Structure 1
Amino acid sequence: MHPASLVDLMKRAALPALCLLVILYFGTHALFGSSGYFALDDIRRSKHELSEQHAALAARKAALGRNIDLLNPKGADPDYADELVRRHLGVIRPDEVIVPLDAPRGAARN
């Protein structure tokens, strides 16, 4: 084989070889990359876990919103306010049951 023909062959093969290497590079990342085909199960599992966390946070947000509404300065719920005060001051035990009593006779009702 003549050296000039070898160089000519290498020049002609360079572009297809480069294209093949680029295809292999992107192909391996499409299969084995962090967001590739074989990572789909992990991605789906993470999505499911994040959806559950989102639902829990949304429920917590709704509960906090209800508590905020109960503490509205224009019309705070006296039972909830009493519960909060007693809990934060440490005068309520976890096993304690609070039974609201009627107002004493002669006391004005709102």
Structure 2
Amino acid sequence: MRHVRQDTNIAKERLVQGLALALLLLMVLWCVAGPSGLLAWGENQRLLEQREKQLVDLKLSRDHLKNRVALLNPERMDPDLAGELVRSQLNVVHPDEMVMQLP
């Protein structure tokens, strides 16, 4: 009787150890191949660099638009920008200008 009971205890211990090992291996696999694991690290770095470049481009565009808004202030409008906008939006030219169409 005692021999059978020891065998079942050993089997239970091996089962618990096997489950613990499987869980540990799954955790290691998740750390290596998961969405924030070691394999995804390079992809995340590449995306970060790409987004930083995009951010710099957007900041330049924002600064350009801020400048144009400041030049279009009705209290102190820039006459050159006003003339450029009238010509581009309304197709208006001065009487002394000559329009040349390029092929």
Into which bin does the TM-score normalised by the smaller protein fall? 0.7 to 0.9
Correspondence for 2:67: 66
For these two proteins, the number of residue pairs brought into alignment is 92
Distance in 2, Cα, partners of 1:42 & 1:89: 48
Correspondence for 1:8: 9
1:34-53 alignment runs, 5 A limit: 34-53=35-54
Distance in 1, Cα, partners of 2:17 & 2:91: 78
Name the stretch that deviates more: 21-30 or 58-67: 21-30
Gaps of 5+ in 1: 97-110
Gaps of 5+ in 2: 94-98
TM-score of the superposed pair, with normalisation by structure 1: 0.72
Distance in 2, Cα, partners of 1:14 & 1:24: 15
Aligned-residue Cα RMSD (Å) equals 2.0
Structure that is richer in helix per residue: 2
After the TM superposition, which segments of 4 or more aligned residues of structure 1 sit over 4 Å from their partners? Answer: none
Q: Percent identity?
A: 29
Correspondence for 1:25: 26
TM-score of the superposed pair, with normalisation by structure 2: 0.76
Correspondence for 2:96: none
Correspondence for 1:106: none
